[in-house]
Amino acid sequence: MKSRLVISSAVRTALKNHEPIVALESTILTHGLPRPTNLEVAQRCEAAVKSSGSVPATIFLYKGKIHIGASEEELFELCQCDDAVKVSRRDFAKVLSGSGWGGTTIAGTVLAANLSGIDLMATGGLGGVHRGAEISFDISADLSELGRTPVAVVSSGVKKILDVQKTLEVLETQGVGTYTIGDSDAFPDFYMRDSGLKSHGGAISIEEAGKILAVNREVGISSGIVFANPVPKDSEGDGIFISGLIDEALLEAGRQNITGPASTPFILSKLAELSGGKTVEINVRLVENNCLVGGQIAKEFALQRN
Ligand code: PSU
Ligand code: MN
């Protein structure tokens, strides 16, 4: 097993010294954001984690190995490649038995982080229950992965393109706690700070988040946690405008019969087009902020644990 894991020297040192580490996903780079914004986001996310005093570990697959921590050149190549596979739990064996690139989803990143001893990751939006899942059964593997792997995810909630209420229900069933960082217990829906629904665990501070994660690990609970970090107030989208665009993007996906793993990337790129880049701007701003807050939570977690 160990020979399949390639851990960068910065991450290896941090693991050895029990320093705070934040894992970062790579599907957002290979499938979620357009070029060249993806590379810019990759670099800004790593810088945001570093500015908090934690160590970033971007996770991806390449040439039969699971990479934990990317060099500048690797980030560049990953963001350029055309043929990366979107990798969740079921995809590891296939992609690792070949030689190509894999961009890990939140599910894939949580799995790989856990294999390498990292307890927290940061990203933009968690996958969830797709609208119409009662017919399509399309429920992101992010939810079941968090149900079986004890890694915390810092995200701006669940994207409004999904069914947020059903997603919270499945997280409950999977034993995954949801908390909102800050002074409101509203669960965010990515573009907006308040989806109209609440986090089950309510509003918590960064210190409390670190402690909750430490206790989850101490007790040996085998499921993960969602720390929802709302988009900063000055970057929040116009809810009515974005809802209209989402309806349009979903209709177009239906017309073109786009389903399964292709669904989220298609809707995201359609939204970017329809909003003239506005949704991408919000995405960039919130993911960078989540990496900063993720780094702060990782530090609190390290203090509690060490
Ligand atoms: N939400 C976003 N941007 C993304 C994704 C989700 O706002 O890029 C990606 C993440 O990697 C997430 C994955 O884990 O999509 C979920 O895809 P699916 O619904 O096919 O499981
Ligand atoms: Mn799916």
pLDDT digits (tens, 9 = 90+) for 183-204: 999 999 999 999 999 999 999 9
pLDDT at 1 (0 to 100): 61
Q: Is 142 in the pocket of ligand 1 (CB under 6 A)?
A: yes
* Structure tokens given for 301: 């977690």
Residue type, 181: I
Q: Within the chain, which residues score under 70 in pLDDT? A: 1-2
Ligand with an atom nearest the CA of residue 246: 1
Q: Which of 247, 245, 250 is nearest to 280 (CA)?
A: 245
pLDDT at 19 (0 to 100): 98
86 sits in which H/E element: strand 85-87
Clarify whether 218 is annotated catalytic.
Answer: no
From the alpha carbon of 25, which atom of ligand 1 is closest?
Answer: 11
From the alpha carbon of 105, which atom of ligand 1 is closest?
Answer: 11
Rounded Cα distance, 26 and 52, in Å: 21
Q: Best of 37, 91, 105 to mutate for ligand 1, by most ligand atoms within 8 A of CB?
A: 105
Q: Is 29 in the pocket of ligand 1 (CB under 6 A)?
A: no
What digits encode the pLDDT tens for the residues 43-63?
A: 999 999 999 999 999 999 999
DSSP 124: S
| Cα distances (Å, whole numbers) of residue 286 to 48, 134, 279, 290 | 11, 30, 11, 6
Ligand 2 is a single-atom ion; what residues have CB below 5 A from it?
138
Q: Is 122 in the pocket of ligand 1 (CB under 6 A)?
A: no
Q: At what angle do helices 141-148 and 164-173 cross, to 10 degrees?
A: 30
| Ramachandran angles phi, psi of 26, nearest 5° | -125, -5
pLDDT at 305 (0 to 100): 87
Instruction: Give the Å distance between the CA of 166 and the centre of ligand 2.
Output: 14
Q: How far apart are the first and last CA of the chain?
A: 27
Q: Exposed e or buried b for every residue in 205-224, given b needs 16+ CB within 10 A?
A: ebebbbbbbbebbeeeeebb
Cβ contact 59:67 at 8 Å: yes
Q: Is 286 in the pocket of ligand 1 (CB under 6 A)?
A: no
CB count, 10 Å around CB of 274?
A: 17
Instruction: Give the Å distance between the CA of 130 and the centre of ligand 2.
Output: 8
Rounded Cα distance, 157 and 231, in Å: 9
Q: Is 109 in the pocket of ligand 1 (CB under 6 A)?
A: no
Go through the chain and tell me how many residues it has: 306
Rounded Cα distance, 139 and 155, in Å: 18
Specify the residue with its C-alpha closest to ligand 1, atom 11.
105
ipTM of the complex: 0.98
DSSP H helices, the chain, are 9-16, 27, 37-51, 72-80, 92-96, 106-116, 133-136, 141-148, 164-173, 206-219, 239-255, 263-274, 278-305
SS3 content of the chain, % helix, strand, coil (to 5): 50, 20, 30
pTM above 0.90, yes or no: yes
Clarify whether 159 is annotated catalytic.
Answer: yes
Instruction: Give the Å distance between the CA of 39 and the centre of ligand 2.
Output: 25
Q: How far is C-alpha 92 from the geometric centre of its chain's CA atoms?
A: 18
Specify the residue with its C-alpha closest to ligand 1, atom 18.
140
